[in-house]
Amino acid sequence: MKILKIAVVSMALVLGASIGSAAMAQQAGDQKSLYERVGGLNGITVVVDDFINRLVVNKTLNKNPAIDAGRKRSPAPYLKFQVSQLVCEATGGPCKYTGKAMKDSHAHLNISEKEWGVMAGEFKKSLDKFKVPAAEQKELFDIVGKTKADIVVRK
Ligand code: HEM
């Protein structure tokens, strides 16, 4: 009788644990990474392509001679590749960003608060154009915002 009781209790524990872990797995499965929610590299490269196309012709940004010189040094396709890799990694994707640190690639560009604002406005236009939902836009802005202290040097 004692053995039966132990067996029943153990079965209940095993069953309870497996239902619990299945529920947890389901929960984890529901919470897709930002990378997946924005459509992986397919979605990221399309948005980055549009975004860089807007930036390289932006008159306000190109008025800054250091940015203009940087554009000539780093061609648009190169920037698109690097920024896509960076966004892919930062959103939880399988990429490995191999470019320079944000400080090393921007400190010499003498970027101001105003220029940062212009960049953010163009980013928003690209996100809206491809109908990236508000929640994902916010997460992407949070990621980009973390680089601001390394990029904006002119107050
Ligand atoms: C006002 C804002 C920004 C401007 C005007 C700007 C402009 C530039 C320019 C001109 C370059 C080439 C630099 C050179 O060759 O000397 C560059 C490189 C790069 N930028 Fe930006 N950028 C801005 C913000 C950002 C942000 C927010 C990110 C990503 C979150 C970013 C990611 C990159 C990357 C990955 C590179 C290439 C780094 C490398 O060469 O390894 N930039 N940027």
CATH of the domain at 150: 1.10.490.10
DSSP 8-class letter at 113? H
Domain extent at residue 11: 1-31
Number of domains observed in the structure of the chain: 2
Which among 52, 54, 105 is the best mutation to test ligand 1's pocket, defined by most ligand atoms within 8 Å of the CB?
Answer: 105
CB 144 within 8 A of CB 120: yes
How much is the pLDDT for 155? 74
| pTM metric for this prediction | 0.85
Same domain for 17 and 59:
no
pLDDT tens for each residue of 102-142: 999 999 999 999 999 999 999 999 999 999 999 999 999 99
Do 42 and 113 belong to one domain?
yes
What's the pLDDT tens digit per position in 8-56? Answer: 444 444 434 443 443 344 345 568 999 999 999 999 999 999 999 999 9
Q: Are residues 115 and 47 in the same domain?
A: yes
Q: Quick one: average pLDDT of 77-87?
A: 98
Q: Does the beta carbon of 70 sit less than 6 angstroms from any atom of ligand 1?
A: yes
Same domain, 48 and 116: yes
47 with 60, same domain: the answer is yes
22 and 96 in a common domain? no
pLDDT tier, 100 (very low <50, low <70, confident <90, very high otherwise): very high
| Residues 38 and 26 both lie in one domain | no
Alpha carbon of 67 to those of 19, 56, 106, 150: distances in Å?
Answer: 57, 9, 9, 15
* Co-location of 42 and 19 in the same domain: no
In a shared domain, residues 21 and 45: no
Q: Are 89 and 143 in contact (CB under 8 A)?
A: no
Whole-number Å distance, alpha carbon 106 to ligand 1 midpoint, is 6
Q: Is the CB of 123 under 6 A from ligand 1?
A: no
The alpha carbon of 124 and the centre of ligand 1 are apart by a number of angstroms equal to 17
Ligand 1 nearest atom to the CA of residue 82, by list position: 35
Closest by CA to 54, choosing from 119, 135, 144, 142, is 119
Please check whether residues 148 and 135 belong to one and the same domain.
yes
Whether residues 48 and 99 fall in one domain: yes
Mark whether 66 and 25 lie in a shared domain.
no
